[in-house]
């Protein structure tokens, strides 16, 4: 509650505000949907959960900008081969890179690096179906997965929907045109090199 329940939602909201500042049409569409609700429904998490575009926007932001971008918190118990030519010696710390995993082109398509909430579908059922499929195939790991799936998914989504609904209700925002972009490029090739160089030690990590 004091770390994952505070810092990660803050990072998500900042990323989402940035994307909506960049995509003004989407921001207007979401605002129209929120303002079409009654004042009571605008703060009703169950009603907000039935706005497919809002949920898709949150998922798409989490896909491209996962608050926890990488984890290296597991260690091999024995020597193991990763693929055909990468040896992970016993005692090697391993993990994943969320930026690359969430942008898998085999699953998300050639435009996997683009912000497109519409890729999640038009209905709530479509959005949730793709969410479950992507999680099952480990191509959406912003909430981790399997037995270690984040226990706070519903809490995080409820908070994100409520916060964004209130922001859209009261504010309009856009990017300062003079703001310089300083985002580091992400590529499968770069991440593959990092994995190869850092996860193939000549001897076990001590």
Calculate mean pLDDT across residues 158-165: 96
Q: Tell me how many domains the chain contains.
A: 1
pLDDT category at 1 given cuts 50, 70, 90 is: low
Angle between helices 153-170 and 7-22 (to 10 degrees): 40
Query: Could you report the per-residue pLDDT of 127-146, keeping only the tens digit for each?
Result: 999 999 999 998 998 888 77
The tokens of 82 are what? 């990763």
Calculate mean pLDDT across residues 94-120: 92
Calculate mean pLDDT across residues 78-100: 86
- More confident: 85 or 28: 28
Buried b (16+ CB within 10 A) or exposed e, 167-180: bbeeeeeeeeeeee
Q: Is 43 domain-assigned? A: yes
The pLDDT of residue 206: 38
Q: Is 1 domain-assigned? A: no
| CATH code of 101's domain | 1.10.630.10
Q: Is 162 domain-assigned? A: yes
pLDDT averaged over every residue in the chain? 85
Question: Can you give the residue range of the structural domain that contains 68?
Answer: 7-175+186-198
Q: Is 194 domain-assigned? A: yes
Does residue 160 surpass a pLDDT of 50? yes
Does residue 187 surpass a pLDDT of 60? no
Calculate mean pLDDT across residues 65-83: 83
Q: Is 73 domain-assigned? A: yes
pTM above 0.85, yes or no: no
């Amino acid at each position: 509650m004091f770390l994952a329940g505070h810092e990660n939602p803050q990072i998500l909201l900042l990323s989402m505000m940035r994307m909506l500042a960049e995509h003004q049409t989407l921001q207007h569409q979401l605002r129209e949907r929120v303002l079409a609700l009654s004042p009571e429904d605008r703060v009703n998490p169950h009603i907000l959960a039935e706005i497919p575009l809002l949920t898709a926007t949150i998922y798409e932001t989490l896909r491209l900008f996962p608050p926890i971008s990488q984890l290296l918190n597991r260690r091999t118990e024995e020597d193991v081969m990763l693929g055909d030519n990468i040896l992970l010696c016993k005692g090697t710390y391993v993990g994943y890179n969320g930026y690359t995993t969430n942008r898998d082109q085999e699953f998300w398509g050639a435009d996997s690096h683009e912000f497109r909430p519409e890729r999640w579908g038009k209905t709530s059922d479509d959005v949730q179906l793709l969410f479950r499929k992507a999680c099952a195939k480990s191509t959406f790991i912003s909430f981790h997965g399997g037995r270690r799936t984040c226990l706070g998914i519903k809490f995080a989504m409820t908070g994100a929907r409520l916060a964004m609904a209130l922001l859209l209700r009261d504010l309009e925002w856009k990017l300062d045109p003079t703001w310089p972009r300083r985002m580091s490029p992400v590529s499968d090739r770069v991440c593959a090199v990092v994995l190869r160089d850092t996860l193939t030690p000549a001897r076990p990590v001590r």
